Structure formats: structure tokens, C-alpha cells
């Protein structure tokens, strides 16, 4: 089954992406940014709606545009693209709220059989990193590609 996903528009360094969510609420621009953290080779995944090209973003907003699975698949696709260009890096992801973190966990579980062969997945459990286990409540996640380069 081919996963339905949106077309991504990328910066030339593959660190920032935009795409358009289309649904009952209309067309909503989404932006994804992989941000350098204080630790070398660890990048934070940030993701939100973007209104009128503004840089003033709120990652707690809930769009409810009826396409959450397609949006999630698109975000996963952006992780593939980023790690394809930065294969030694880790992508760190945590929700802006506990509910959003649970949503990320559901996303990882949903696509686990697709991504586990491509990514090493870790979970932060009470400030300790461990290999990701389904069903466990993590406060953050991190993924790294198992490959030098994906053949996209």
C-alpha cells in the first residue's frame, strides 16, 4: 500500500520543509524545521501550521483538517529526506504537549513496520535513553538512519 502523503517543498539544505494540507478547513500551510540543538549531530524536529508566511508560529495549534494520517506520513517522509542528507545525525522529537507526544508515539507505532528497518529508534524514558519499545510511554524519541544514504 502506498501511503498517501503531500508533496514537500524543501530548502536547498533539506533542513526546512513546507507543504499544504487540504481538507474541510481549507488549505493550510505546514512548516517543518530540523533545528540544531546544543548537542552535536542532534536535531530537533519542529512542526506547525504557518499563516501568511509568518515566522511567528504556535506548535500547540490543532488544525483538525481531517488529514492527520496524511500529514503524519508527510512528516515521516521529511525525516527520510533530512537523514538522507545528514546520515550521521539524530532527529529528536517530542510533543509540545503530553497529548501531542502521545500522537507522535501513535505515529511511530503506526509506521513502525515501515521505518524500523531504515531507522534506529530510541525513546527517552525518565531521562534515560533506550531502544524504542511499543506500548511504553516516552517523553521524547530519537531516530537515526541505519544506512549511509537512502536510494530515494
Interacting residues with another protein (CB under 8 A): 1-3, 5-18, 31, 33, 35-42, 44, 46, 48, 55, 57, 59, 73, 76-78, 80-81, 87, 90, 92, 94, 96, 111, 114-115, 117-118, 122, 124, 127-129, 139-140, 142, 145-152
Complex with another protein: residue 65 or 70, whichever CB lies closer: 70
Nearest approach in angstroms of CB 113 to another protein is 9
Complex with another protein: residue 90 or 104, whichever CB lies closer: 90
Give the contacts of 104 (CB within 8 A, at least 6 positions apart).
Answer: 93, 94, 95, 141
Number of other residues whose CB lies within 10 A of the CB of residue 79: 20
Asked if 77 contacts 91 with a C-beta cutoff of 8 angstroms, the reply is no
Nearest approach in angstroms of CB 44 to another protein is 5
Asked if 101 contacts 94 with a C-beta cutoff of 8 angstroms, the reply is yes
Please choose, from the candidates 146, 71, 63, the residue with its C-alpha nearest in 3D space to the C-alpha of residue 107: 71
Nearest approach in angstroms of CB 62 to another protein is 16
Complex with another protein: residue 71 or 81, whichever CB lies closer: 81
Rg of the chain on CA atoms, in Å: 15
Amino acid at each position: 500500500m502506498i501511503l498517501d502523503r503531500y508533496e514537500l517543498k524543501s530548502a536547498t539544505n533539506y533542513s526546512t520543509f513546507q507543504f499544504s494540507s487540504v481538507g474541510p478547513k481549507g488549505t493550510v500551510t505546514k512548516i517543518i524545521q530540523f533545528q540544531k540543538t546544543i548537542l552535536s549531530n542532534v536535531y530537533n524536529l519542529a512542526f506547525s501550521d504557518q499563516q501568511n508566511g509568518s515566522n511567528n508560529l504556535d506548535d500547540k495549534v490543532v488544525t483538525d483538517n481531517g488529514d492527520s494520517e496524511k500529514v503524519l506520513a508527510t512528516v515521516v517522509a521529511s525525516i527520510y529526506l533530512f537523514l538522507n542528507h545528514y546520515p550521521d545525525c539524530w532527529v529528536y522529537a517530542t510533543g509540545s504537549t503530553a497529548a501531542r507526544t502521545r500522537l507522535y508515539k501513535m505515529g511511530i507505532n503506526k509506521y513502525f513496520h515501515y521505518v524500523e528497518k531504515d531507522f534506529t529508534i530510541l525513546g527517552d524514558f525518565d531521562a534515560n535513553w533506550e531502544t524504542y519499545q511499543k506500548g511504553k510511554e516516552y517523553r521524547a524519541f530519537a531516530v537515526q538512519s541505519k544506512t549511509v544514504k537512502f536510494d530515494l
